[in-house]
Structure 1
Amino acid sequence: MFRTMTRVPGGLMLIPLVLGSVIGTFAPAALDIGGFTTALFKDGALPLIALLIFATGTQVTMRTGGPVLATTGVVLLGKSLIPGVLIIGLGAVTGPEGILGVSILALLSAVTNSNGGLWLAITGQYGRARDRGAYIAGAVNDGPFFTLLFLGASGLGQIPVVAFIAALVPFVLGVIVGNLDAQWRETLAPVPNIVIPFFSFALGAGIDLGEVASGGLTGIVLGVLITPLTGGLVYLGYRLLLRRGAESGIGFAAGTTSGNAIATPAVVVAADPSFQAYAAAATPQIAACVLVTALLAPLMASWALKRSGADPARDEAAEAAQAEEAQP
């Protein structure tokens, strides 16, 4: 089963995510029986992601720290900042109603954030340590932050600084531990393959396929556009700014919508009730984007890498082996 899952682009996350959403939609009571079952398969996503973040931090050495920060900046630029500015520009013309039935609230919520767990899954399968370390971008743009930031002119600019600090602490601790003790770094290296299927199932259990369906054609079309457009911007950043050449295809892994974005309209409405009129339509549209982009991003990233003949993960492993052999 494991070999089959790894043959599917992003399969370690995608297959459990879809399975969890099916069970969470049609048999949710099965996950509510309590005990270890509920703790692992319904409520386990956050602690498992936190463990993955810590383990990822241990793999970032002082040698790779600079590239990690550069990669993180490129991901944020292509995935959040440029799209956010463009959406706000559209809002200046159309007003909060947006375009073609998709409000500015829905656009900002779905477009400017990314699925950090899926990024880790894809970069764990195809990328280098610097790519996996750039999960920090997902910690920053996941949830309502950029939506509130870009709507700040409307009085919604309450930036949750403490939340970002809390998201970064496991990663920073991991970096410290991994640089102080190489044995910890080696011990935690297999963590991604262990925890990704489990937290993916738990995330999927929170996605109601009924809400995805009610998002209709607009949500599906938006999801189809998000991966090539925002992932394409990150791809260009990889190629033009990071000079990653044939490895730039990994940038398409950023073209996703985080599951946490489904709650963003409610957060915005709590800050400014005037957005209530748009929240009802925005929520199912965003849910559709979560599922559609989770399907498309791994496919586009793997296609782009295969087309260029690149395998960053394999090359990095070979380089590490050569470095060990060269040591006296």
Structure 2
Amino acid sequence: MEMQLKQGSSSIPFFKTMQKVPAGMMLIPLILGVLINTFAPDALRIGGFTQALFKDGALALIGLLIFATGAQITGSHSGKAAAATTGVVLLCKTLIPAAIAVMLGLIFGLEGFWGVSILALLAIMGNSNGALWLAFAGEYGDERDTGAYVASAFDDGPFLAMIFLGASGLGQIPFLALVAAIVPFALGLIVGAVDREWTRVLDSVPSITIPFMSFAVGTGISLGTVLTGGLQGLFLGVGVVVFTGGLTYLGYRFLLRRGSKSGIGFAAGTTAGNAVAVPMAVAVADPRFLPFVESAAAQTATAVLVTAILAPIVASWVLKRSGGLTVHDPVSSAM
């Protein structure tokens, strides 16, 4: 009976529908949360498990996601990584853009410019969609490229944003708050290194937690903020693909000397779905960022959608022009 239930067809294929939408596992629950917060803001404030999971559960779910991310770095993917490729992706996609965002913060202040806060810039520029990278690199690249998934895993979560904000003086991040952000990641590193079985178990954590986390984040955002922040998020998403993807492309071409395969670098020009939770996590550590959380989360959500659609298109176009749009054959490469 139980086996039949597991293998039976869905009456309404919610899950498959969400998967067909770019970044749908994050965007659809987020939008539902926004709608409930806008039209029935007290519906989930009834206490008990309901409020704990659907209204107040974002931080706990973020912590679980960070723990799982740490376990992936020391798990199966990292064994394939070429250090040079991973370093170039991390440098070009995350570290340089985050450093530029901090420089802009020192010039314009925390509120940023054109309605885009420095918090939004760091969340959007500093997190990359590891799943999209892994899928694209797995099809058109080789083990050096798929192994660079480690870079995407490393920049997931709020602690890099906290480090940049704290080191620059833009954020007053208490030491214990920084430690609290890193502890789940560090424990995940240890668990993944000691027991690879846990790494395999934790592989499914993002697909489980991201929809619930996104819904909880959405319950703190109003529909008006989404509508007003959508245009900025659109431009930021395009900017992520062009700027961070372009930087990674240049790194592939001139540092790694990958020739016709350099276009793979544009696939790094994305924003991770869990980046939508970074503004809230940073504001918990430094309440001065609280006024920017709502707009930053809305802009980040838009950028996630834009980059998920645009980055693989641009990467494929560049690969095609350079003659590198060939599917990787692991069997022939092993021979």
2:173 pairs with 1:173 = no
Across the two proteins, how many residue pairs are aligned to each other? Answer: 296
After alignment, is 190-199 or 134-143 more displaced?
Answer: 134-143
2:307 pairs with 1:297 = yes
Alignment of 1:200-279 (within 5 A): 200-213=214-227, 216=228, 219-242=229-252, 243=256, 245-254=262-271, 258-261=276-279, 270=288
Instruction: Give how far 1:269 is off.
Output: 8.3
Work out which of the residue numbers 174, 182, 207 in structure 2 matches 1:193: 207
Do the aligned partners of 2:71 and 2:192 also contact (CA within 8 Å) in 1? yes
Instruction: Give how far 1:96 is off.
Output: 8.9
After alignment, is 248-257 or 166-175 more displaced?
Answer: 248-257
After alignment, is 17-26 or 203-212 more displaced?
Answer: 203-212
CA distance in 2, matches of 1:194, 1:55: 11
Structure 1 equivalent of residue 79 of structure 2: 63
For the structure 1 residues 255 and 124, does the alpha-carbon distance in structure 2 shift closer, same or farther, using more than 3 Å as the test? closer
Structure 2 residue matching 1:30: 3-state secondary structure: coil
Do the aligned partners of 2:79 and 2:147 also contact (CA within 8 Å) in 1? no
Instruction: Give how far 1:240 is off.
Output: 2.1
The percentage of counterpart residues that share the same residue type is: 33
TM-score relative to the length of structure 1: 0.70
* Structure 2 letter corresponding to 1:30: A
Instruction: Give how far 1:8 is off.
Output: 1.4
CA distance in 2, matches of 1:240, 1:14: 31
After alignment, is 188-197 or 141-150 more displaced?
Answer: 141-150
2:64 pairs with 1:51 = yes
Do the aligned partners of 1:212 and 1:285 also contact (CA within 8 Å) in 2? yes
For the structure 1 residues 112 and 181, does the alpha-carbon distance in structure 2 shift closer, same or farther, using more than 3 Å as the test? closer
> Could you list the runs of 5+ residues in structure 2 that have no partner in the other structure?
1-13, 138-145
Work out which of the residue numbers 153, 159, 162 in structure 1 matches 2:176: 162
Instruction: Give how far 1:304 is off.
Output: 3.1
CA distance in 2, matches of 1:171, 1:250: 25
CA-to-aligned-CA distance 1:106-139 (integer Å, 9 cap, x gap):
5423223338888456557666464365343343
CA distance in 1, matches of 2:281, 2:311: 27
Structure 1 equivalent of residue 24 of structure 2: 11
Do the aligned partners of 1:231 and 1:255 also contact (CA within 8 Å) in 2? no
For the structure 1 residues 284 and 98, does the alpha-carbon distance in structure 2 shift closer, same or farther, using more than 3 Å as the test? same
For the structure 1 residues 202 and 69, does the alpha-carbon distance in structure 2 shift closer, same or farther, using more than 3 Å as the test? farther
CA distance in 2, matches of 1:30, 1:125: 39
For the structure 1 residues 203 and 283, does the alpha-carbon distance in structure 2 shift closer, same or farther, using more than 3 Å as the test? closer
Instruction: Give how far 1:48 is off.
Output: 1.8
Do the aligned partners of 1:31 and 1:42 also contact (CA within 8 Å) in 2? yes
Alignment of 1:87-166 (within 5 A): 88-89=106-107, 91=108, 102=115, 106-114=116-124, 119=129, 122=132, 128=146, 130-131=148-149, 134-140=152-158, 146=164, 150=168, 152=169, 158-166=172-180
For the structure 1 residues 123 and 161, does the alpha-carbon distance in structure 2 shift closer, same or farther, using more than 3 Å as the test? farther
* Structure 2 letter corresponding to 1:8: V
For the structure 1 residues 125 and 14, does the alpha-carbon distance in structure 2 shift closer, same or farther, using more than 3 Å as the test? farther
Instruction: Give how far 1:16 is off.
Output: 1.0
Structure 1 residue matching 2:308: 3-state secondary structure: helix
CA distance in 1, matches of 2:23, 2:133: 9
CA-to-aligned-CA distance 1:199-254 (integer Å, 9 cap, x gap):
111111111113344xx4xx444322212223432212322225573432332213
Instruction: Give how far 1:171 is off.
Output: 2.2
Structure 2 equivalent of residue 276 of structure 1: none
CA distance in 2, matches of 1:126, 1:197: 23
CA distance in 2, matches of 1:179, 1:239: 31
Instruction: Give how far 1:13 is off.
Output: 1.0
Instruction: Give how far 1:88 is off.
Output: 4.2
Structure 2 residue matching 1:253: 3-state secondary structure: coil
TM-score relative to the length of structure 2: 0.69
CA distance in 1, matches of 2:218, 2:131: 15
Do the aligned partners of 1:112 and 1:141 also contact (CA within 8 Å) in 2? no
> Could you list the runs of 5+ residues in structure 1 that have no partner in the other structure?
272-278
Instruction: Give how far 1:45 is off.
Output: 1.7
Instruction: Give how far 1:60 is off.
Output: 2.1
Instruction: Give how far 1:74 is off.
Output: 2.9
